A = this chain, B = another copy of it.
Amino acid sequence: MSTYKAKVFVTLKPSILDPQGRTVERALSHLEHGNVSGVRVGKYIELTLHGRREDVEAQLRDITENVLSNPVMEDAHWELEGA
């Protein structure tokens, strides 16, 4: 039984319009950052999990796919760090 730190990254699928990213991009171009493109705004979630590594990995996969992201519109991936 150990404690693990997990990071989950959730982004809109590339085919889905991202109005928030579009707005940031437009703001940046007005601020003389016209060389910035392809801005996409997603979510970054940190969690701490306690348990055996294999259980924690399975659990994190479940949480990422079923709780933290919407697989219809979003892509998600995660990283696990032993603590």
Interface string of A18-54 (1 = CB under 8 A from B): 0001001001100101011111111111111111000
A70 within 8 A of B: no
A61 to chain B, nearest CB (A): 12
Copies in the complex: 2
Secondary structure class of chain A's binding surface, majority of residues: strand
B43 in contact with A41 (CB, 8 Å): yes
With the chains together, A13 CA to B35 CA distance in Å? Answer: 30
The number of residues on chain A lying at the interface, defined by a beta carbon within 8 Å of a beta carbon of chain B, is 30
User: Which residues on B sit within 8 Å (CB–CB) of A49?
Assistant: 35-36
Q: With A24-B67, A67-B31 in contact, is A48–B43 under 8 Å at CB?
A: no
Cβ-closest 8 pairs across A and B: A44-B44, A38-B48, A42-B44, A35-B50, A40-B46, A37-B48, A39-B47, A9-B44
